[in-house]
């Protein structure tokens, strides 16, 4: 789980305004419904990365991840569980 957290905390992030974060959150949430499993997986990781940095986003991202764990592919479920565990430790 530390690997997940380390991958998401490299310090090379874009500085986003609150408005930009809202737009990014909406776009990434939309990608969670893409046909491509890869797109959905990267969107899930990007949402978690946002939540690692933004305390206010954590409840919303945690709820999204919990839904994905119920409906996603086995790989998505596994990765989602790891991301959730890391987010809940913060």
Question: Which tokens sit at 36?
Answer: 């491509």
Question: Which tokens sit at 75?
Answer: 């790989």
Residue labelled with tokens 């737009």: 23
User: In angstroms, rounded to a whole number, what is the distance separating the alpha carbons of residues 39 and 1?
Assistant: 22
**Regions in the chain scoring below 50 on pLDDT:** 1-8
Q: Where are the domains of the chain?
A: 17-89
Q: What is the pLDDT of residue 12?
A: 59
12-25 residue pLDDT tens: 567 888 899 889 99
Residue 66 CA to chain centroid, in angstroms?
Answer: 11
pTM of the model: 0.80
Q: What is the pLDDT of residue 7?
A: 45
User: In angstroms, rounded to a whole number, what is the distance separating the alpha carbons of residues 85 and 5?
Assistant: 10
Q: What is the pLDDT of residue 10?
A: 53
CB neighbourhood size of 9 (10 A): 13
Q: What is the DSSP letter of 78?
A: H
């Amino acid at each position: 789980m530390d690997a997940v957290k380390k991958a998401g905390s490299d310090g090379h992030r874009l500085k986003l305004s609150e408005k930009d974060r809202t737009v990014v959150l909406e776009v990434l949430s939309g990608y969670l419904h893409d046909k491509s499993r890869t797109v959905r997986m990267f969107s899930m990781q990007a949402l978690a990365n946002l939540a690692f940095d933004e305390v206010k986003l954590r409840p919303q991202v945690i709820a999204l991840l919990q839904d994905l764990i119920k409906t996603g592919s086995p790989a998505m479920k596994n990765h989602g569980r790891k991301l959730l565990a890391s987010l809940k430790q913060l």
